[in-house]
A and B are shown apart, each in its own frame.
Chain A
Amino acid sequence: MGSGPEKIKGSTSASSGKNVLRALVVDDSKFHRVLQTALLRFFKVETTAAENGKEAVDLFRSGSNFDIVLMDKEMPVMDGPEATRTLRSMGVDAKIVGITANASSESKAEFMEAGIDDFLLKPLTADNVASLLENMGKN
């Protein structure tokens, strides 16, 4: 499989020269793409959005790099678990956080087995986004 892409701790912004985190929001719902993007931008995270797992995979394949991926579970074309498995098999080691409204243990287990690093229930709040980003900073 090879060594995979180099782990990125944060890209350098061309304009400011400062380290900035880059996030990818993956959700088939425009509502959640808009809301999660706003939440992340509130914390000064550069954010891109994709409508399904396949778009997310294509972004990585085209050379885009992200430090964190907020991955919805149920999406058409390619769902969250499948996208996660595909990204991991490509050697992507960005932090992938599974997001769903379904609190069942089966739902979480399926997602964890696919290779996510963390799991959050909707609604996403400023507190849990802050916590996520703080943990990334510590790591």
Chain B
Amino acid sequence: MLGLDAARLEADMNRLMAQLFHQGVLDEQFMQLQQLQDDSSPNFVLEVISIYFRESEKMLTNLRHQLADKEVTDYTKIGVHLNHLMGSSSSIGANRITTVCIALRAASEQCSWARCLRCLEVLEHEYCYLKARLHELFQMEQQRVIAAGVRYRPQLA
């Protein structure tokens, strides 16, 4: 990690961000998160995204559980979990995930178990893709900070 070119890492990060925006994976709402990060909360984006991952995985597990048995699927509960996932996904600019949530909600309102299941599979795929890309971004940021010689100060409890 030491000796890596900070400028090159920044260029790589910009390329990854541009790719994610171009693919529609992220939208401008993600930029708003970055604007809320400052010296008093230097790890704000990482903190918020980490919480998003934890809560989203619970929601995805709940959705998978709800759709496990066609006979006992509770579409109202699916709606509740979806509202939760949609709200947080749209808040971080996870555009494609939000779009799939909308499709899943439409399927659940029509009580179409098969369509719900297909949407959930797409949702899980989109989530995994987003998580992998954001992890990549955060790793590059860590390396860039080290390479640039900026001292990292963790918040003390």
Interface size class, chain B: 20 to 34
B155 interface contact, C-beta 8 A? no
| Given known A31-B51, A31-B55, A32-B91, contact A101–B84 (CB-CB < 8 A) | yes
A123 and B91 within 8 A (CB)? yes
A117 interface contact, C-beta 8 A? no
Could you tell me the distance between the alpha carbons of A31 and B58 in the complex, rounded to whole angstroms?
13
B105 and chain A: residue at smallest CB distance: A102
B48 and A35 within 8 A (CB)? yes
B101 and chain A: residue at smallest CB distance: A101
Which B residues are CB-close (under 8 A) to A123?
A: 29, 87, 90-91
Partner of B86, one of A30, A35, A101, A125: A101
Could you tell me the distance between the alpha carbons of A69 and B46 in the complex, rounded to whole angstroms?
26
Q: Which A residues from 93 to 115 make CB contacts under 8 A with B?
A: 100-102
B47 interface contact, C-beta 8 A? yes
Q: Which B residues from 14 to 45 make CB contacts under 8 A with A?
A: 29, 32-33, 35-36, 41, 44
A101 and B36 within 8 A (CB)? no
B52 interface contact, C-beta 8 A? yes
A74 and B91 within 8 A (CB)? no
* Residues in chain B within 8 A of chain A (CB atoms): 29, 32-33, 35-36, 41, 44, 47-48, 51-52, 55, 79-80, 83-84, 86-88, 90-91
